[in-house]
């Protein structure tokens, strides 16, 4: 193993840098810019059982030290992903890919994950439990221990690949949610998803996005993300994938020192499509600066 090598749920990675879901498409778009095989892996666009057009526009807006988005899980549906997107990706990416899955009922999560579990290029299933539970009054699965655990159990019953549960930060106690997922059989957790935020345009006197509120991401949320990663990593024994405002090699090191086994990079990709490439290239220099021999020994250090 090299200096940058790590393992995620038993699957080796050349480095811990992972573009986050929703910021890297299905990969081949970025393959036109650089060789994406230098990545540890990437999490592809959030996929649901049925195609989704998403929310009305405007649905993305810049704000101080970040952005707000309410895209609404726009995606072509799992059948199209399997038939079209994955074969297209396989031509340019030769490593296991992380499949990000969203759903609005336990049954939908399980069905979508079961289909993706059969795909040889899928190495992990990253299950986003920040979606509203249509059978539970619209409350997010990720804000309730029991609801989160029910998704984990249903998905684990139909899959053989590692299941990583992506947690919402919009809770009062991230530790209880993380432990509930571990107890239900999750192989790992990833956090944080976006914070809930909004802005108002003073000229129009209306919210800047049509959905009124949306997910707030970018450098401004890094301290919150780091705190939650530290809390979760010290509460569970399964691997933690850290994300939220990561934009530099130093941010990656800080996340890993807090306990992350790997690190996802989100909004930075939308500002600079070469962000992950630059971070990976800068990691050895940053490690030398802080006397870090290998990344695997840094985790939780």
| Catalytic (active-site) positions | 131
Q: Which residues contact 36 (CB under 8 A, 6 or more apart)?
A: 27, 30, 42, 92, 93
How many angstroms separate the CA atoms of 51 and 74, rounded?
Answer: 7
For residue 144, CA distances in Å to 67, 136, 170, 173, 215 come to 26, 10, 11, 10, 19
Residue the block writes with tokens 């969203």: 102
Counting Cα atoms < 13 Å in the Cβ hemisphere of 121 gives 22
As a whole number of angstroms, the distance between CA 76 and CA 51 comes to 4
CA–CA dist 113, 259 (Å, integer): 27
């Amino acid at each position: 193993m090299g200096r940058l090598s790590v393992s995620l749920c038993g699957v080796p990675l050349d480095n811990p840098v992972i573009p986050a879901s929703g910021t890297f498409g299905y990969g081949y778009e970025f393959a036109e810019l650089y060789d994406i095989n230098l990545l540890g892996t990437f999490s592809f666009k959030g996929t649901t059982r049925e195609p989704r057009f998403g929310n009305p526009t405007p649905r993305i807006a810049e704000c101080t030290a970040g952005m707000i988005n309410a895209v609404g899980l726009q995606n072509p549906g799992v059948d199209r992903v399997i038939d079209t997107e994955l074969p297209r990706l396989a031509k340019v990416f030769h490593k296991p890919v992380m499949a990000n899955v969203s759903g609005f009922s336990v049954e939908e999560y399980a069905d979508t994950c079961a289909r993706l579990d059969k795909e040889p290029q899928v190495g992990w299933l990253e299950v986003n439990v920040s979606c509203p539970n249509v059978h539970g009054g619209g409350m997010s699965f990720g804000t309730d221990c029991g609801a989160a655990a029910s998704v984990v159990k249903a998905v684990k019953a139909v899959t053989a690949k590692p299941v990583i549960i992506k947690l919402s930060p919009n809770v009062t106690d991230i530790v209880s949610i993380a432990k509930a997922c571990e107890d239900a059989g999750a192989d790992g957790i990833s956090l944080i998803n976006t914070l809930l935020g909004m802005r108002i345009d003073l000229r129009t006197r209306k919210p800047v996005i049509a959905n009124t509120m949306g997910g707030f991401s970018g450098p401004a949320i890094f301290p919150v993300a780091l705190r939650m990663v530290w809390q979760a990593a010290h509460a569970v024994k399964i691997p933690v994938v850290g994300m939220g405002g990561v934009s530099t090699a130093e941010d990656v090191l800080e996340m890993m020192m807090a306990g992350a086994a790997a690190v996802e990079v989100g909004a930075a990709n939308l500002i600079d499509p070469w962000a992950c490439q630059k971070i990976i290239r800068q990691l050895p220099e940053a490690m030398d600066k802080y006397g870090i021999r290998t990344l695997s020994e840094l985790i939780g250090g």
